[in-house]
Amino acid sequence: MTLGRRDVLCGMAAGAASLAFPARAVGTTELIADVGEMQLLPPQYAQTRFWGFGGTMPGPEIRVRQGERVQRTLVNELPQATSIHWHGIRIDNAMDGVSGLTQAATAPGDRFSYDFVAPDAGTYWYHAHNRSIEQVARGLYGALIVEEHTAPDVDAEDVLLLDDWLIDPATGQIDADFDAMHDRSHAGRNGNFIATNATYGLTRPARRYERRRLRIINAANARVFELRLQGLQGWIMAYDGMPLTAPRPFGDYLLLGPGQRADVFVDVTAEAGGQAHLLAVLDGEGLSQIKFEVAGNASGTRRGAPVPLEGNAHQMVQLDGARVLTLDMEGGAMGGLRSATLDGKRMNFRQLVGQGQFWAFNGAIGRAEDPPLANLSRGEHVWLKIRNATAFPHAMHLHGMHFHEVEADGRLGPLRDTTLIFGDQSREIAFVADNPGNWLLHCHMLAHAASGMTTRIEVA
C-alpha cells in the first residue's frame, strides 16, 4: 500500500495535536537577519553586499498603534551572532536586545522571539546590538513607527533613515576595518557615501502647500547631521519619539546625533514645478537627503500652525530631592587621559591603547559587564550630571527610559533618549527610574561605545 496524500495529512494533524497547542505566539513574524546585495551606489558601480533584516535595506518598517504588541522572531542567518535592540521603547528589560546583558547573542542558525508592547507613540528604530560597531555599519537596522491614536493633520509622511556608508570606491563594498584605531580614538567611524533609506538621491513627488511629516532617524555610526530645509518651512514636533508640548519653529538648522530622531512637520513652500529638499550640510555643502519634486498645488495657501502631537504619559521628575549622579567622560585623541582602570587594573594610556581602549567614565574604561554606575530603587528620581572633558561630541543614550534634558536655568527641557554633548561641555539630565532592569547608558558613536563609553544603570 502506498502512503497517500491523505495519510500524510492525517499523520501531521495527529502530531500537531499531541503537542497540545505549544505556546506559539499569534502574530509572530520572522525577522530574518541575512546577507544581501543592493544597488547602493549609482548604477555604474557594483552592487554592495550588506547585512540586513528581512532581505531589504533598510529592514522592513514595523508600524503599530500606540499600546499594541510587537512580536518578531529574529532568525539569524548571518555568519555572526546578533540581537535586536528596540531603540527608545520603554520596554520590558528582557526584550531590550542587549547581547551579554539582557540576553545571550543569538548564534548563527538560532532564533530569538521578541514580544513587547509599544507604550509610547512616536518615531523609533531597531538595530543590531551585538558588535554594533560592525553590524549597524553593515546595515542591520530599520524603522519602528508607533502611531498616535488620533492621526495628526498631515497630507503625507516620509520615514527617513539617514546614514553615511564607508565604502571602498574600487570595489563598491563596505569597508571592513570596523575596529580601526583612528575611528575608535577620534570621532568614530564616519562614512564617505551619504544615502537616505539606502537610496542615493531619494526623490518623491509633492504638491505646493501640502504638509508632510518627516520622521527623521539618524542611523549613522558616528555622524552628527546638520539638517536644513530648502523650499520647506516647518516645526519640530517631537524629539526621540516624545512630543514637544509646543511645536518649535524649525529655525535655521537641526542637529541630530547618532541614534536621535526628530519628527518635523514641513509645509512645501517651493513653487509648483520646483524642488524642495531636506539638506544635510557637510563641509559647507548641502547634500539632499530627500528631494521633493513639486507638481501642482495642494491648496491656495499654507495652513495654520500645527497643534502638538498627542502626549505620552510620563511621571514628572522632581530635581528637588533627586539622587544626584555624576558621569565624567574623559579620553580620546587630544583628551589628555593619563590612566584609567580596566578590569580593576590601573593602566597608563599606552597600555590602554594596546587594548584598543580610549575612553573613560569616572576614571574607568566603561563596559557593560562592570559594576553599574548606580543601583537605583524603582521610582527613584535621578539627576545625572554629565561632563564631557573630551575634545569630541558624544551622543549619550539611555536604554529603557526617557529623560529630560535640564536646561541652564534649571527648567526641564524636552524628553529624549539620546543627548548630544559637544567637547568640553556639560549636560544634565533627569528621569524617574520607573522601569526595572539593567539599562545600558552609552555613547551612540559606536566606536566609542566599544572602546570605553559604556556603562549601565540598575533599577531594582
- Please report which residue ranges of 186-255 form alpha helices under DSSP H: none
Q: Nearer Cβ to ligand C2O, position 144 or 337?
A: 144
Within 129-274, strands assigned E span: 141-147, 156-165, 167-168, 173-174, 193-196, 203-208, 211-218, 225-230, 232-239, 242-249, 254-256, 261-268
144 touching ligand C2O, by CB under 6 A: no
Q: Which three cell numbers stand for residue 419?
A: 543627548
Which residues have CB under 8 Å from 12's CB, separation 6+? Answer: none
Q: How many helices (H) and strands (E) does the chain have?
A: 5, 34
CB 294 within 8 A of CB 270: yes
Stretch of residues binding ligand C2O (CB under 6 A), selected from 40-48, 104-112, 386-394, 436-444: 436-444
Contact partner at residue 443 from Cu ion, ligand C2O, none, CB < 5 to 8 Å by partner kind: Cu ion
Residue 394 binding: pick among Cu ion, ligand C2O, none (C-beta 5-8 Å cut-off by kind): Cu ion
Does 90 interact with ligand C2O (rule: CB under 6 A)? no
Q: Does 397 interact with ligand C2O (rule: CB under 6 A)?
A: yes
Of 10-18, 22-30, 223-231, 392-400: span binding Cu ion (CB under 5 A): 392-400
Q: How far apart are CA 4 and CA 374, in angstroms?
A: 65
E-assigned strand segments in 77-210: 84-87, 111-117, 122-128, 141-147, 156-165, 167-168, 173-174, 193-196, 203-208
- Of 114, 23, 98, which is closest to residue 64 (Cα–Cα)? 114
Q: Is 212 in the site for ligand C2O (CB under 6 A)?
A: no
Query: Nearest-CB residue to ligand C2O?
Result: 87
Residue at grid coordinates 498631515 = 154
Q: Which segment (52-60, 102-110, 169-177, 436-444) binds Cu ion by CB under 5 A?
A: 436-444
CB atoms within 10 A of CB 18: 7
Q: Which of these segments, 11-19, 162-170, 373-381, 388-396, binds Cu ion (CB under 5 A)?
A: 388-396
Task: Name the grid cell of 25.
Answer: 505566539
Under the binding rule (CB under 6 A), the answer on residue 129 touching ligand C2O is yes
Determine the interface stretch with ligand C2O among 6-14, 25-33, 194-202, 438-446 (rule: CB under 6 A): 438-446
Mark residues 323-352: x for contact with Cu ion by CB under 5 A, - for none: ------------------------------
CB atoms within 10 A of CB 210: 20
Give the residues across from 313 on adjacent strands: none
- Tell which one of 442, 448, 451, 452 touches ligand C2O (CB under 6 A): 442
127 is a contact residue toward ligand C2O (CB under 6 A): yes
Q: Distances from the Cα of 12 to the Cαs of 2, 15, 390, in angstroms?
A: 17, 5, 63
Query: CA geometry: angle at 403 spanning 343 and 251, to 5°?
Result: 120
Is 445 near Cu ion (CB under 5 A)? yes
Give yes or no for residue 448 binding Cu ion (CB under 5 A): yes
Q: Is 72 in the site for Cu ion (CB under 5 A)?
A: no
Confirm or reject binding of residue 85 to ligand C2O (CB under 6 A).
yes
Report which of 172, 180, 118, 171 is spatially closest to residue 145, judged by C-alpha positions. Answer: 118
Q: Which is nearer to Cu ion, 167 or 445 (CB)?
A: 445
From ligand C2O, Cu ion, none, interface partner of 381 (C-beta below 5 to 8 A by class): none
State how far the Cα of 430 lies from the Cα of 428, in Å rounded to an integer: 7
Q: Which is nearer to ligand C2O, 397 or 416 (CB)?
A: 397
Query: Between 319 and 358, how does the x/- string for binding to ligand C2O read (CB under 6 A)?
Result: ----------------------------------------
Residues whose CB is less than 8 angstroms from the CB of residue 14 and which lie 6 or more positions away in sequence, other chains included: none
Q: Select the span of 266-274, 402-410, 423-431, 440-448 touching ligand C2O (CB under 6 A).
A: 440-448
β-strands 285-297, 232-239 pairing: unpaired
Q: Which span (193-201, 336-344, 402-410, 439-447) binds ligand C2O, by CB under 6 A?
A: 439-447
Rule CB under 5 A: is residue 427 a binding residue for Cu ion?
Answer: no
Q: Is 259 in the site for ligand C2O (CB under 6 A)?
A: yes
Instruction: Assess 261 for contact with ligand C2O (CB under 6 A).
Output: no
Binding flag, residue 138, Cu ion (CB under 5 A): no
- Residue in the block written with cell 533613515: 161
Per CB under 5 A, 143 contacts Cu ion: no
Q: Which residues bind ligand C2O (CB under 6 A)?
A: 85, 87, 127, 129, 259, 397, 399, 440, 442, 444
Point out which residues bind Cu ion (CB under 5 A). 394, 443, 445, 448
